[in-house]
């Protein structure tokens, strides 16, 4: 018995010792040869990935969302990730630079204004610009782009809840401008079209680009003979008339293909659905995991420097940072918080670079021109007690030390016109809290002010708390109008019993639509009943001004009016961050869409 | 019996119907799909809102929307109706998303639940046999420690030490003497505690363990074994022999020499075919391995049978189990032989243990072994996290049940009859302990699919959990309802199975 027990004991010990450490073996006894260079110490195994052994230059970019569609112009495909990878796969007539300037890509084609009155814009594509199946990108593609951008054929109307007519292309963007254009004239070379506007349109340069959906594929899938048949269809179909809608079955078939066929989460069997015209072409998609693109040899412009770009979908911020640290991602752009940035800064010495900059999103406090704030003096008194620098120090300071409040309603700080605008507007009057001035303007009154904000957002809550503390001293009776997710937007839009609201806008960066949309008395996103005839006039004028310098002048003027009329105050721009391995070259912080993807063709590893 | 099952399913159906309504209505009331669009400065804000209303039928009254969903879902069960679980907010089919989500989640939870069940039960049984010992207290403490750790924190620790630091370590793969002594000490203490010997013997065990570990780990370090691991025929034989002794001592007792020899015969067969079978393994698929698994069991049964004796059943069981373990060792060895090739793959870059995703993007190892390693490096961390947390429940449950069983009269009777302690524990106590445990297992399997929501998010797996989470954050009702449908169906089914299982395992219980 004892003997048995001891044997068992020894066996168990030997077993656990071996299990917990594993034992070495004589490799010569193996017949299989697992590796071509077995025995050699792995020299590529270093923390900062040198170009891989096979000499391929590849990088992996982590993104929050999963790819869903090649057609980011459609409502279904209109997601940030789709336009990001789209920037890698599709040729573009223009690029927005990190300085938020529009740059025409002349190696792809051109956008020229050939007449001011009436406004005529010529879009042309160079002969070298081709789809990856060899088919040229030409007038058919431009016509398709124009058709969905303009909604020319739509006859949809909704009166008193009753819907009539059809909306063909479910385009995600705004149809302003192009909806007032005439049927384009196709150039003789077959690679250009000229669009004539019936009204001048300020954003003519950025309103239309090449499509990500090849016209010849759309035509084929819609059972048309070829691309020319599609062009003929566009030519012969009359402009949609909402008053007397006519069914256009062929157009409906084309639109259905455009709306639906290019949406997929893994590569379809039909290669024509993912043809590329840009520097990269899709090679593999693992559903909800990753997407790999390789260099497109048929690209007409300067070839991309990288051989391969992989996107990994990582929704959790901390997971993305660990993935960067562990070499599973080379570039990440996580939603920053003070913790995120501390973690990233700690990685710097281990061979990582961190860029931070301003985002296009900004928080602001708007005053409802009603109740106590009907009186301009009360609005001014309130603006004097908003502690903007303190809010910035608390919310943005930990992420980006030395930040200043945003000082313009119409320009974000990254835009060239910003400095001129703040010199002209009276924002400097509100740089520091001035309780005395505030008290003087209130003249003994103690108006009750209820502030609406989303109380699930700590930044907004902080802003509110600081404003309440400060404005109490001036005599305001500040009431907490914070509301949860889902509720606050309803109240904001419907107009509740609040007198002020703290929330965020996202600036488009380029373009001129904000003035008319937000601040015009009839603007669709004007939630404050703000009404200034002078500003309305400027907004109308801006929409029809073609000269960029003149556009900036009008916006500067409007910005001045907004401060003079004591509209409210911009608070701060959000902070954005990009972190990447040192050996990834060419990364530049880009505040607007498509983020790091804006110069994906110029990135390399070295 | 049949009536009972039918009645249970009927009730389950009613429960599901009621909960589906509750979930659907709560979702509709609690989330707002138009939220992000409403406070937008986009010039075509109105149109986007209109489009979203049309996609989600928001213009229809809530009860009607629910009935529309119910009709589509009912179509999946009733023949002749079309199965339609609706579409997500970006117009992808929910049924498709559920399918791929299910695969991902199963990959993550199957191994983890198997390990936590088996390890947890073993740990529970061992601690119950050494009740109130230092080992008992120690393992109880550890189990509760891991049980109470929030998984997101545990996951962060695992990623930092199990992946980032471990991969850094693999660059050089040298183990220091102090670390070796530490590992030896810990292993020695655990083994000594589990065996529950007197102090002198325990000290000897710890001492031997420290010396053995220093020797082994230094050998590993010096030969670069971690970079080019393998077991080889020698170690497979050695480990196999140890397994044979261990398995025999538990199942048949070492006195049963025929059982011992039949299991040692299996080890010998394993060692003999080790070299010839490499050629087959080189071209193997997963299916081949499954076939080999069953062949091994069959060979074990035959070998056990041929050894004869008074209890052939024991011979067969011992031989089959040993055969499976030896086969497992040969398989592990084959994976190890590919390890170097895997870590040097251009997409792996020498950092094998992954922190995110279910596979390396764009990786195709070309063989079962390379792709298996890729799966292993991705599953390792989430599985460890889930096992550490799941271990506590099973071990506590097994310990409590085992203790209760050991105090039963029939155990005392068995001891009084003069049966050996092994027979008392394994045959009389453990078998009866399995009855309540198996029902717990069945019920937790039902809850498995929905249980790894946070783990999935932290490790960026796009399974059922991420489907549910993204549905909630996007105020997208259909994927959430799809998630609910699958998880509640699983839960309901397994609860019924658990009840039936109880009746099957315990003849005293009757279903009616």
pLDDT in tens, A369-391: 988 999 999 999 999 999 999 99
CA distances from B182 to A18, A167, B188, B314 (A): 16, 72, 10, 40
Q: Does A516 touch chain B (CB under 8 A)?
A: yes
Nearest residue in chain A measured CA to CA from B180: A21
| The pLDDT of residue B512 | 62
Closest partner residue to B355 (CB to CB) among A76, A323, A517 is: A323
| The pLDDT of residue A40 | 33
| The pLDDT of residue B80 | 77
pLDDT band at A162, cuts 50/70/90? Answer: confident
Q: Which of B362, B467, B472 to mutate to test the interface with A (most CBs of A within 10 A)?
A: B362
Q: Does A493 touch chain B (CB under 8 A)?
A: yes
Q: Provide, as residue numbers in chain B, all residues whose Cβ is less than 8 Å from the Cβ of A44.
A: 344, 346, 349-350
State the smallest CA–CA distance between residue A17 and chain B in angstroms: 7
Query: What number of other Cβ atoms are within 10 A of residue B487's Cβ?
Result: 19
Q: Is the pLDDT of residue A50 over 80?
A: no
Q: Are B240 and B329 in contact (CB under 8 A)?
A: yes
- Percent of chain A having pLDDT more than 70? 91
pLDDT, tens digit, 9 for 90 and up, residues A174-230:
888 899 999 999 999 999 999 999 999 999 999 999 999 999 999 999 999 999 999
Mean pLDDT, all residues of chain A: 88
Cβ pair A24:B220 closer than 8 A: yes
Identify the residue with better confidence: A3 or A568.
A568
Q: Does B233 touch chain A (CB under 8 A)?
A: yes
Closest partner residue to A13 (CB to CB) among B170, B205, B230 is: B205
pLDDT, tens digit, 9 for 90 and up, residues B23-76:
999 998 888 888 888 878 777 788 888 888 888 888 889 999 999 999 888 888
Q: Which of B228, B233, B274 to mutate to test the interface with A (most CBs of A within 10 A)?
A: B228
Q: Which residues of B296-311 are buried (b: 16+ CB within 10 A; e: fewer)?
A: bbebbbebbeebeeee
pLDDT, tens digit, 9 for 90 and up, residues A459-514:
999 999 999 999 999 999 999 999 988 788 889 988 888 999 999 998 877 888 88
d(CA B332, CA B444): 29
Q: Which residues of A279-301 are buried (b: 16+ CB within 10 A; e: fewer)?
A: bbbbbebbbbbbbbbbbbebbbb
Q: Does A534 touch chain B (CB under 8 A)?
A: no
Q: Does A253 touch chain B (CB under 8 A)?
A: no
pLDDT, tens digit, 9 for 90 and up, residues B485-504:
998 888 888 888 888 888 88
Phi first, then psi, for residue A215 (nearest 5°) are -60, -35
pLDDT band at A326, cuts 50/70/90? Answer: very high
Cβ pair B35:A485 closer than 8 A: yes
Mean pLDDT for the stretch of residues A588-604: 93
Q: Does B107 touch chain A (CB under 8 A)?
A: no
As given in the structure block, the two tokens for residue A210 are 């090449």
Cβ pair B38:A493 closer than 8 A: yes
If you search the block for the tokens 């009839």, which residue do you land on? Answer: A522
Q: Is the pLDDT of residue A72 over 70?
A: yes
Mean pLDDT for the stretch of residues B338-358: 90
Mean pLDDT, all residues of chain B: 89
pLDDT, tens digit, 9 for 90 and up, residues B409-452:
999 999 999 998 888 998 889 988 888 888 888 878 877 777 68
Q: Is the pLDDT of residue A12 over 60?
A: no
Q: Is the pLDDT of residue A21 over 60?
A: no
| The pLDDT of residue A31 | 36
ipTM of the complex: 0.88
Q: Does A41 touch chain B (CB under 8 A)?
A: yes
| The pLDDT of residue A196 | 95
pLDDT band at A6, cuts 50/70/90? Answer: low
| The pLDDT of residue A38 | 35
Q: Does A456 touch chain B (CB under 8 A)?
A: no
The 3-class SS string of A168-230 reads CCCECCCCCCHHHECCCEECCCCCEEEEEECCCCCCCCCCCCCCCCCHHHHHHHCCCCCHHHH
Q: Does A491 touch chain B (CB under 8 A)?
A: no
| The pLDDT of residue A485 | 82
As given in the structure block, the two tokens for residue B121 are 């039960």
| The pLDDT of residue A39 | 34
3-state secondary structure of A135: coil
Closest partner residue to A25 (CB to CB) among B187, B232, B462 is: B232
| The pLDDT of residue B451 | 64
Q: Provide, as residue numbers in chain A, all residues whose Cβ is less than 8 Å from the Cβ of B344.
A: 35, 37, 42, 44-45, 53
d(CA A281, CA A283): 6
| The pLDDT of residue A42 | 34
Name the helix (H) or strand (E) containing A477: strand A477-483
| Triad B72, B75, B77: Cα angle to 5° | 135
Q: Does B44 touch chain A (CB under 8 A)?
A: yes
Q: Provide, as residue numbers in chain B, all residues whose Cβ is less than 8 Å from the Cβ of A326.
A: 159, 163-164, 167, 351, 353-355
pLDDT, tens digit, 9 for 90 and up, residues A109-126:
999 999 998 999 999 999
State the smallest CA–CA distance between residue B133 and chain A in angstroms: 18
Q: Are β-strands A185-186 and A192-196 bridged in parallel, bridged antiparallel, or unpaired? A: antiparallel
Mean pLDDT for the stretch of residues B330-350: 91
Q: Does A1 touch chain B (CB under 8 A)?
A: no
As given in the structure block, the two tokens for residue B352 are 């094998």
State the smallest CA–CA distance between residue B38 and chain A in angstroms: 6
User: Is the bond into A16 cis (omega within 30 degrees of 0)?
Assistant: no
Q: Are B191 and B245 in contact (CB under 8 A)?
A: no
As given in the structure block, the two tokens for residue A511 are 């373009």
State the smallest CA–CA distance between residue A173 and chain B in angstroms: 7
d(CA B37, CA A440): 41
**pTM value?**
0.87
Q: Is the pLDDT of residue B355 over 90?
A: yes
| Triad A582, A587, A591: Cα angle to 5° | 135
Q: Does A351 touch chain B (CB under 8 A)?
A: no
d(CA B98, CA B119): 31
Q: Does A328 touch chain B (CB under 8 A)?
A: yes
Mean pLDDT for the stretch of residues A437-458: 92
Q: Provide, as residue numbers in chain B, all residues whose Cβ is less than 8 Å from the Cβ of A29.
A: 232-234, 275
pLDDT band at A601, cuts 50/70/90? Answer: very high
Q: Does A117 touch chain B (CB under 8 A)?
A: no
| The pLDDT of residue B504 | 81
Cβ pair B44:A175 closer than 8 A: yes
Q: Provide, as residue numbers in chain B, all residues whose Cβ is less than 8 Å from the Cβ of A313.
A: 460, 462
Q: Does B408 touch chain A (CB under 8 A)?
A: no
| The pLDDT of residue B135 | 87
Q: Which residues of B402-430 are buried (b: 16+ CB within 10 A; e: fewer)?
A: bbebbeeeebeebeeeeeeeebbbbebbb
How many cross-chain Cβ pairs, A to B, lie less than 8 Å apart? 285
pLDDT, tens digit, 9 for 90 and up, residues B380-417:
999 999 999 888 889 999 999 999 999 999 999 999 99
| The pLDDT of residue B311 | 83
If you search the block for the tokens 């393994």, which residue do you land on? Answer: B281
C-alpha radius of gyration, chain A, whole number: 29
Closest partner residue to B217 (CB to CB) among A21, A490, A492 is: A21
Nearest residue in chain A measured CA to CA from B207: A13
Best CA proximity match to B407, nearest among B438, B436, B433, B435? B433
d(CA B103, CA B280): 29
């Amino acid at each position: 018995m004892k003997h048995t027990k001891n044997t068992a004991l020894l066996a168990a010990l030997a077993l656990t010792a071996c299990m917990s450490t594993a034992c070495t073996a004589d490799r010569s006894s193996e017949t299989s040869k697992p590796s071509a260079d077995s025995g050699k110490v792995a020299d590529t195994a270093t923390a900062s990935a040198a170009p891989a052994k096979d000499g391929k230059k590849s990088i992996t970019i982590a993104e929050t969302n999963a790819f869903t569609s090649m057609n980011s112009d459609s409502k279904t495909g209109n997601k940030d990730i789709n336009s990001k990878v789209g920037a890698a796969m599709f040729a573009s007539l223009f690029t927005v630079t990190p300085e938020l300037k529009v740059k025409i890509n002349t190696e792809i084609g051109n956008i020229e204004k050939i007449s001011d009155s009436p406004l005529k814009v010529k879009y042309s594509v160079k002969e070298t610009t081709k789809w990856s199946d060899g088919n040229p990108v030409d007038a058919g593609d431009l016509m398709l782009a124009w058709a969905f951008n303009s909604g020319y054929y739509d006859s949809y109307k909704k009166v008193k809840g009753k819907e009539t007519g059809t909306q063909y292309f479910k385009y995600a963007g705004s149809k302003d401008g192009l909806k007032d254009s005439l049927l384009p004239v196709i150039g003789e070379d077959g690679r250009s079209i000229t669009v004539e506007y019936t009204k001048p349109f300020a954003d003519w340069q950025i309103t239309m680009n090449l499509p990500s959906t090849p016209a010849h594929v759309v035509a084929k899938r819609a059972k048309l003979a070829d691309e020319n048949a599609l062009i003929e269809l566009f030519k012969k179909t009359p402009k949609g008339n909402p008053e007397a809608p006519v069914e256009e079955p062929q157009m409906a078939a084309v639109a259905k293909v455009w709306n639906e066929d290019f949406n997929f989460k893994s590569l379809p069997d039909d290669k024509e659905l993912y043809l590329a015209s840009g520097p990269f072409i899709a090679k593999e998609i693992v559903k909800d995991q990753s997407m790999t693109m390789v260099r497109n040899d048929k690209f007409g412009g300067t070839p991309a420097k990288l051989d391969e770009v992989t996107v990994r979908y990582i929704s959790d911020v901390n997971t993305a940072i660990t993935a960067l640290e562990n070499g599973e991602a080379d570039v990440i752009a996580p939603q920053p918080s003070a913790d995120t940035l501390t973690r990233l800064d700690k990685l710097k010495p281990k061979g990582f670079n961190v860029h931070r900059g301003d985002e296009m999103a900004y928080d602001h406090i708007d005053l409802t021109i009603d109740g106590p704030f009907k009186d301009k003096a009360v609005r001014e008194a309130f603006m004097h007690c908003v502690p903007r620098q303190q809010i910035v120090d608390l919310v943005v300071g930990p992420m980006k030390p030395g930040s200043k409040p945003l000082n313009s309603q119409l320009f974000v700080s990254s835009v060239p016109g910003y400095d001129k605008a703040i010199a002209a507007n009276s924002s400097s009057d509100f740089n520091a809290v001035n309780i005395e001035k505030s008290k003087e303007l209130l003249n003994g009154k103690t108006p009750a002010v209820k502030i609406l904000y989303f109380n699930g957002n700590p930044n907004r809550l902080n802003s509110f708390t600081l404003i309440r503390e400060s404005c109490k001293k001036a005599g305001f009776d500040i009431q907490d109008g914070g509301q949860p997710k889902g509720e606050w937007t309803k109240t904001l839009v419907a107009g509740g019993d609040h007198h002020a609201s703290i929330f965020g806008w996202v600036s488009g960066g380029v373009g001129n639509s904000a003035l008319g949309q937000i601040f015009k008395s009839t603007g669709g996103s004007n939630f404050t009943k703000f009404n200034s005839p002078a500003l309305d006039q400027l907004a109308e004028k801006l929409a029809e001004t073609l000269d960029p310098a003149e556009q900036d002048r009008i916006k500067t003027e409007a910005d001045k009016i907004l401060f003079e009329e004591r509209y409210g105050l911009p608070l701060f721009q959000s902070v954005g961050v990009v972190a990447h391995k040192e050996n990834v070259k060419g990364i530049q912080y880009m505040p607007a869409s498509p983020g790091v993807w804006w110069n994906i063709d110029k990135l390399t590893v070295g | 019996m049949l009536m009972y099952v039918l009645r249970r399913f009927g009730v389950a159906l009613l429960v599901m119907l009621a909960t589906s309504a509750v979930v659907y209505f709560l979702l509709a009331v609690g989330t707002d799909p138009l939220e992000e669009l409403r406070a937008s400065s986009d010039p075509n804000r109105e149109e986007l809102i209109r489009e979203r209303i049309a996609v989600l039928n928001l213009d229809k009254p809530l009860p009607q929307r629910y009935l529309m969903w119910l009709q589509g879902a009912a179509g999946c069960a009733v023949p002749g109706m079309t199965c339609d679980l609706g579409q997500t907010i970006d117009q992808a089919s929910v049924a498709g998303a559920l399918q791929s989500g299910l695969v991902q989640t199963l990959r993550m939870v199957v191994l983890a639940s198997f390990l936590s069940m088996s390890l947890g039960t073993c740990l529970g049984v061992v601690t119950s046999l050494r009740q109130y010992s230092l080992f008992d207290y120690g393992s109880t403490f550890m189990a509760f420690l891991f049980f109470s750790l929030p998984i997101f924190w545990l996951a962060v620790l695992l990623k930092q030490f199990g992946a980032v630091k471990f991969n850094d370590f693999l660059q050089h793969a040298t183990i220091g003497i102090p670390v070796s002594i530490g590992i030896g000490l810990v292993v020695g203490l655990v083994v000594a505690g589990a065996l529950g010997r007197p102090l002198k013997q325990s000290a000897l065990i710890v001492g031997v363990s420290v010396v053995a570990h220093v020797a082994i780990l230094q050998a590993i370090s010096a030969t670069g074994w971690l970079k080019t691991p393998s077991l080889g025929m020698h170690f497979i034989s050695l480990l196999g022999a140890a397994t044979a002794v261990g398995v025999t001592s538990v199942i048949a007792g070492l006195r049963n020499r025929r059982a011992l020899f039949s299991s040692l015969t299996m080890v010998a067969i394993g060692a003999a075919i080790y070299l010839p079978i490499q050629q087959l393994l080189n071209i193997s698929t997963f299916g081949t391995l499954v076939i080999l698994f069953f062949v091994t069991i069959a060979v074990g049964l035959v070998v056990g049978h041929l050894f004869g004796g008074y209890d052939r059943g024991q011979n067969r069981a011992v031989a089959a189990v040993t055969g499976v373990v030896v086969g497992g060792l040969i398989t592990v060895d084959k994976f190890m032989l590919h390890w170097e090739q895997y870590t040097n793959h251009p997409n792996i870059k020498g950092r094998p243990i992954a922190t995110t995703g279910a596979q390396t993007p764009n990786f195709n190892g070309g063989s079962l072994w390379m792709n298996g390693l890729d799966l292993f490096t991705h599953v390792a961390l989430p599985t460890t996290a889930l096992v550490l947390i799941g271990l506590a429940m099973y071990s506590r449950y097994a310990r409590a049940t085992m203790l209760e069983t050991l105090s039963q009269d029939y155990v005392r009777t068995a001891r009084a009859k003069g049966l050996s302690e092994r027979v008392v524990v394994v045959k009389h106590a453990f078998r009866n302990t399995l009855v309540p445990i198996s029902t717990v297992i069945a019920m937790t399997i039902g809850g498995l699919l929905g249980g790894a929501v946070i783990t999935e998010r932290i490790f960026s797996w796009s399974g059922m959990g991420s489907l549910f989470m993204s549905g909630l954050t996007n105020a997208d009702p259909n994927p959430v309802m799809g998630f609910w449908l699958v998880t509640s169906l699983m839960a309901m089914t397994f609860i019924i199975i658990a009840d039936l299982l109880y009746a099957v395992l315990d003849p005293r219980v009757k279903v009616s």
